[in-house]
A and B are shown apart, each in its own frame.
Chain A
Amino acid sequence: MRNLLSANFARLWRSRLFWFMEAGVFAWGVLAYYLLKVNTRNGYPFLNGNSYFFNEMTFIGVTTACFSGFFIGTEYSDGAMRNKLSVGHSRMKVYLANLVTILCAGFAQFAAYTLAAVTAGTMLVGDMVWNRLYRPAETVAISFLSICTSAAIAVWISMVVIDKSKAVLINVMLSILLLAAGASALKGLMQPEMTQRIYISSIGEYKYAYEDSFSDEEDWVIEEVPNPKYLVGMERKVYEYVSAVLPTSQALSCALNEDDNDFNRFSGLQIFGTLAAVVLISGSGILIFRKKDLK
């Protein structure tokens, strides 16, 4: 396995796509803090530090999936997979070596963005980079878990779908779908338990605070009431379990993390769910790959 990793990392180091993505992620980080500086200069308050510092988590699943499709797909399309198997490397080791490589590529993207956030952020907004962060250590940990699950899914597809272009396409489509599903799950979980209901006396109607904006001329009264969109019981449990295994849900929660809209995201369920998902996805991938007829 050490030999396979050595070969994979040497290839990763030479990969233009890898360095292009590193440069792109770094540039994104610089741009995010530049826009933040422009916004603060224009009077917008800088409240949520995580949405800048962990902004790459919103798209890291898509870029990891895309990279995995190209990196592993090339092994199939150029036939290099045969060179590994025909000299006696077991299929499980080949699979795991590729998983570790794609994982490291994902972590490297995270590191590139973080480097950009630290350097460009410090230069452009100073200490506010750190002051506005919310539970950074836990957010980093959840980010890493999210990258692990994203990489496991991407490697599964790349190793099972032999056609490189199909693998890339499926990877990208699925990662976008997962992003939408993650956003939906997170939206449900992040609903506050209480919300404000507003009674507009001029028209005799109630409206919830999240529904509309109200003009000052209207005669209205604010009431604190339970949020009908707040998930409870079994429905909340389902959302929590789905969120625990969906890497995109975790990734978005890291990027959007705010003190006042918190749910129990750093729970044991999240950690267990992610690890179970990685083991199950990779285990099934190895089983399929071991039985697969290769050309």
Chain B
Amino acid sequence: MDYCLATNALSKYYKDFKALNSLSMHVPKGAIYGFVGKNGAGKTTLIRLICGLQLPTSGEFTLYGVGNTDKRIDRCRRRMGAVVETPSVYMDTTARENIKEQYRVLGMPSFDGVDELLAFVGLENTGKKKVRNFSLGMRQRLGIAIALCGEPDFLMLDEPINGLDPQGIIEMRELILRLNREKQITVLISSHILDELSRLASYYGFIDKGSMVKEISAAELEAECRKCTRVTVNDTKLLCMVLDKIGLEYKVVSATEADIYGAVKAADLVHALDEAGCETMSMHEKNESLETYYMNLVGGGADA
């Protein structure tokens, strides 16, 4: 698989505090990568390192296959756009002037794409309104427009829906999906709002205390979170035989546990197992959401 971004044992320490601790992650090309973690887990630190705002203490990362110590990394960053924490916009100018300023920073030959970009993020009618008078949602969209000025292949958005109202959240979601589908931009979204991420992401990376806990595709996650019945028995071999006979889909989790998918008649199953000489210890329904999946991964705690 081709990766836009890959990190290998990336660490960043602030004195004794380990903001990133040997983090290894892989962002596939074309994906919307949900970067999930609590506040202070290290999400923003990673984005700062990739953007070149800070230097790693140890470890490395590659952007489009180019290492962070390679001289070509600066040129690779031209293919990337980012909104780190708050949108980076001049408050005392208009949206148009902000975009033109970034065009100049990038050395674009003309301002031809400015109107199109403003329209794309829905800010075409802001006219002479100063950015300081924009709503938070409008600023976020302007921040994304600025990140898009260089027509990047890879966009990193740090908590893009924080503080937005419901309407703003919907607009932001649609914008990110359009960027991914219409412009084939790989998007990394860091967030702790899991419900919203689950509507967007095609890949997930779960970070805790600066380390990657798990990377998983949305399809794999869906399978993991699928509604099922968890059965605990004394012999899973006998359980498998019975389930095969009944024709139920299942997955053996451990020597004594299995997840059964589809509708299960508990009384019938227990009876069949009993007849096969298999003792049923417990049986309960399992229906994991992204939230509970995450909590199980990182061992609970607030803020996610």
Contacts and interface: CB of A to CB of B under 8 A. Distances in A.
Interface of A: 2-4, 6-7, 10-11, 14, 74, 78-90, 291, 293-295
Contacts of B91: 78
Contacts of A79: 84-89
26 contacts: A4-B105, A6-B104, A7-B102, A7-B105, A14-B97, A74-B90, A79-B86, A79-B88, A80-B89, A80-B90, A80-B101, A82-B53, A82-B88, A83-B105, A83-B146, A84-B105, A86-B52, A86-B77, A86-B84, A88-B74, A88-B78, A90-B74, A293-B48, A293-B55, A294-B53, A295-B48
B82 A82 contact: yes
B84 A87 contact: no
B187 interface: no
Contact of A89 (B74, B87, B97): B74
Contacts, number: 86
Contacts of A7: 101-102, 104-105
Contacts of B73: 88
A85 B53 contact: yes
A285 B105 CA distance: 22
SS class of chain B's interface: helix, strand, loop or mixed?
A: mixed
B79 to A, nearest CB: 9
Contact of B106 (A3, A80, A90): A3
Looking at chain B, what size class is its interface with the partner chain?
35 or more
A83 B102 contact: yes
Interface in B92-151: 93, 97, 100-102, 104-107, 146, 150
Contacts of A14: 93, 97
Interface of B: 14, 48, 51-55, 73-78, 80-82, 84-91, 93, 97, 100-102, 104-107, 146, 150
B77 A295 contact: no
A294 B85 CA distance: 12
B52 A85 contact: yes
A295 B47 CA distance: 10
B194 to A, nearest CB: 25
Contact of A80 (B55, B85, B88): B88
